[in-house]
Amino acid sequence: MISLEARAKRIKVAVFDVDGILTNGGLMLGDDGLEYKIFHSQDGLGMKMLSNTGVRLAYITGRKSNVVVKRAENTGVHILYQGVDDKLAAFNDLLEQQDVSAEECLFMGDDVIDIPPMRRAGLAITVPHAMPLVKEYAHYTTERQAGFGAVREVCEMLMKAQGTFDAQMAPYLK
């Protein structure tokens, strides 16, 4: 059995679902037809720091929203798949486009649509409120809730495993 740390050490691309991972899963729809999402600032800084270490970041999400594009731009996410019905097909395309193996990818999701890429990824992560079946396929369930620092927890775990955490914290600890 491969340890969590060993899995984390080899990650080159971290892939995140959006709703239920970067947000708390709630969908806020206005009378104006617009969709609103609440993101956690700690997750954003965690993604920026992780990106600074050379780990590539991606979103694969079933919904399509301009706010997701904005969030990706603000957090160092350069790989974006939106409006995806088949997340495994998107994940497989990402592997080919990024020239990485599945073992070099993390996939973080919370619902059954996320199970196929989670089963293929080298490191599958979920959150406490995930559907029970999803938890069965996760190598790790975060302590923090989705939309409240769960992604930051994962970013820090990767940086610690890869030996890049201290360098990313150094500017804040002078």
Low-confidence ranges of the chain (pLDDT < 70): none
Mention the CATH class of domain 4-164: alpha beta
17 is in an annotated binding site: yes
19 is in an annotated binding site: yes
> Which strand ranges, in their side-by-side order, compose the sheet holding 79-81?
79-81, 56-60, 13-16, 105-108, 123-126, 140-141
pLDDT the model gives residue 148: 96
Domain boundaries in the chain? 4-164
Are 89 and 40 contacting, i.e. CB atoms less than 8 angstroms apart?
no
Spell out the residues 6+ positions from residue 135 whose beta carbon is closer than 8 angstroms to its own: 126, 141
Per the DSSP assignment, residues forming a β-bridge with 108 are 16, 125
Are 49 and 25 contacting, i.e. CB atoms less than 8 angstroms apart?
no
pLDDT the model gives residue 78: 93
pLDDT the model gives residue 18: 96
pTM attached to this predicted model:
0.95
